Amino acid sequence: MEKSRKSRKRRSQPTMHLDSSSKFERLLKNASAIQHYTLRLYITGTTARSAQAVANIRALCEEFLHDRYDLEVVDLYQQPGQAADQQIIAAPTLVKERPIPTTRLVGDMSDRERVIVTLNLGGPGTDRIKAATK
């Protein structure tokens, strides 16, 4: 009987209550800083426009997503079926698959502000975007 009393005492002891809502809010606030991005860039051969798109998106990814992204470059001349499968009608086209929602950008990715805003690289504030586009 003593064992059951002891176990009841253990169960009846108050447990420490953590403020989980504030922890959740902090996680949401920092979510863009910890998200991993999955990107796919569709290009057409070794043209100057394709090379520029690859260089531009790699530079932005290194600046904003260092070690938090996967970038796959798909040459539509080598894999023509990919254009039809993914409904790619122009190249270069960048597809952000993760984090959701999926978004697409067409062009050589030289408009830094447009790429940063579309991929949501600047986070909730715009200060980082303004500084990056100067």
Residue 25 lies in a domain: no
Cβ atoms of residues 88 and 82 within 8 Å: yes
Q: What CATH number is associated with residue 97?
A: 3.40.30.10
Per-residue pLDDT at 8: 53
Residue 24 lies in a domain: no
Global pTM reads: 0.67
Count of beta carbons in the 10 Å neighbourhood of residue 90: 11
Residue 90 lies in a domain: yes
Residue 10 lies in a domain: no
Number of H helices, E strands in the chain: 7, 4
The per-residue pLDDT for range 117-129, each reduced to its tens digit, is 999 887 654 344 4
Residue 27 lies in a domain: no
| Structure token digits, residue 83 | 């254009």
Residue 16 lies in a domain: no
What's the structural domain count of the chain? Answer: 1
Alpha-helical segments (H) within the chain: 2-12, 20-29, 31-34, 48-65, 81-85, 112-119, 127-132
Per-residue pLDDT at 28: 56
Per-residue pLDDT at 133: 47
Per-residue pLDDT at 91: 92
Domain that holds residue 98: 36-132
Residue 22 lies in a domain: no
